[in-house]
Amino acid sequence: MTEMRVIGLAGWSGAGKTTLLTKAIPLLVRQGIRVSTLKHAHHGFDIDHPGKDSYQHRQAGASEVLVASGRRWALMHELRTEPEPTLAELVAKLSPVDLLIVEGFKRDPHPKLEVHRGGNGKPFLHPDNPTILAVATDQPDQVTDRPALHLDDIERIVPLLLDLAVPLAEVRDGAA
């Protein structure tokens, strides 16, 4: 792949999105594809903890705190009274890769794979969301209007993710 492409995963909590991702990413990486993920959290979350210096920096009012070591770095940005950033704004902060997999942002216009587990007792999302182009579910026989694969068929899901991914410019422009 030469230009960054984007595909989304959408589904109810507990459907298996993270499990699917942790199985798909190694297969993609083995193919030489550089992958990043972007996850939307519907609740407050924190990657920092009370008592840590970086936490104290944020609590003191720092707008951003960058923590770095010889193994990784993380940038924490406090929104305070700012609005939540859009998907396009967040994507612009990422380093270029071959494939960006977005978890959440189900109302944004980028193409998505729905991850659905029947045991959750939740309805499918795809009937009301035209940006969901295919479904990975433990009930593929119940999907009749778009491609459906079994949730555990990761060997077929990975190529489908690659086929459905669109160039980053389409996501930035809202044209996906």
pTM comes to 0.89
Which domains can be identified in the chain, with CATH numbers?
5-44+83-172 (3.40.50.300)
- Give the DSSP letter string of 71-83: S-EEEEE--TTSP
Reading the block at residue 123, the tokens are 């309805």
pLDDT tens-digit readout, 53-90: 888 888 888 888 888 889 988 888 888 888 888 888 88
Q: How confident is the model at residue 173 (pLDDT cuts 50, 70, 90)?
A: low
Estimate the share of the chain in helix, then strand, then coil, as percent rounded to the nearest 5: 30, 25, 45
CB 25 within 8 A of CB 122: no
CA 133 – CA 131 distance, rounded (Å): 6
Which residue has 């459905």 as its token pair?
164
Would you say the C-alpha torsion 53, 58, 63, 64 has a positive or negative sign?
A: positive
pLDDT tens-digit readout, 130-164: 999 999 999 999 999 999 999 999 999 999 999 99
What is the phi/psi pair of residue 126, to 5°? Answer: -60, -30
Residue 160 CA to its chain's centroid (Å): 16
pLDDT value of position 77? 86
List the one residue out of 40, 16, 26 whose CA is nearest residue 115.
16
SS (H, E, C) 97-158: CCEEEEECCCCCCCCEEEEECHHHCCCCCHHHCCCEEEEEECCHHHCCCCCEEECCCHHHHH
CA 35 – CA 153 distance, rounded (Å): 20
